[in-house]
Amino acid sequence: SPVGPYPISPALADPGARLGNYTVSSTNGTLNVTAASLSVAANNAARTYGATNPAFSGTIAGIQNNDDITATYSTTATVASPVGPYPISPALADPGARLGNYTVSSTNGTLNVTAASLSVAANNAARTYGATNPVFSGTIAGIQNNDDITASYSTTATVSSPVGPYPITPALADPGVKLGNYTVSSTNGTLNVTAA
């Protein structure tokens, strides 16, 4: 029976057939059926920046009478959402219209979007003493969501630098300010200046 008041009715048993000797007044009582407590809580989850959201889960406690109440869990975070915490919100489905019989408490979970790994490495190069530096190159791996992150490569060696090895250092350009979503590892290359 759903939430609400219900009469509690007295009924007299008279095996000795004595009720005829009485004037009977009967007063009902009231049974108040109050709302049951139902709680739904989303579990926490995590993923890296640029990845799709995992399947969210959670728990429901307090369902009575096998009522057909289920929960789904969602977040506002998308693959392009920056690093940070996002709420995972439960939503209840109630095809049998039973939620009116419950006092519902709902607890969000947290989706932690963590930094993706990005690596940049300069390629090695060589030239002779007195020559101009070649065009340096390298590789970037781990860019997500087509973020506009590019690399340039430079060295301290000039045309007058003596024979020897010189570091080729990567530098990242980030016009869209997306590097905060990455953990960056950078590897220098080597420019070998050889004898002319």
pLDDT digits (tens, 9 = 90+) for 108-163: 999 999 999 999 999 999 999 999 999 999 999 999 999 999 999 999 999 999 99
Residue 146 is predicted with a pLDDT of 96
Residue 140 is predicted with a pLDDT of 98
Residue 189 is predicted with a pLDDT of 98
Chain centre distance of CA 138: 34
Residue bearing tokens 């090895």: 165
Residue 139 is predicted with a pLDDT of 98
Confidence of residue 175 (pLDDT cuts 50, 70, 90): very high
- What SS3 state is found at 162? coil
Return d(Cα 190, Cα 166) in angstroms, integer. 6
Beta bridge partners of 172: 151
What value does the mean pLDDT take over residues 60-84?
Answer: 97
Residue 65 is predicted with a pLDDT of 96
pLDDT in tens, 8-66: 999 999 999 999 999 999 999 999 999 999 999 999 999 999 999 999 999 999 999 99
Listed in sequence order, the residues at least 6 apart from 34 whose beta carbon sits closer than 8 Å to its beta carbon are: 3
Which H or E run contains 32?
Answer: strand 29-33
Residue 41 is predicted with a pLDDT of 98
Residue 60 is predicted with a pLDDT of 97
Cβ of 131: how many Cβ atoms within 10 Å? 12
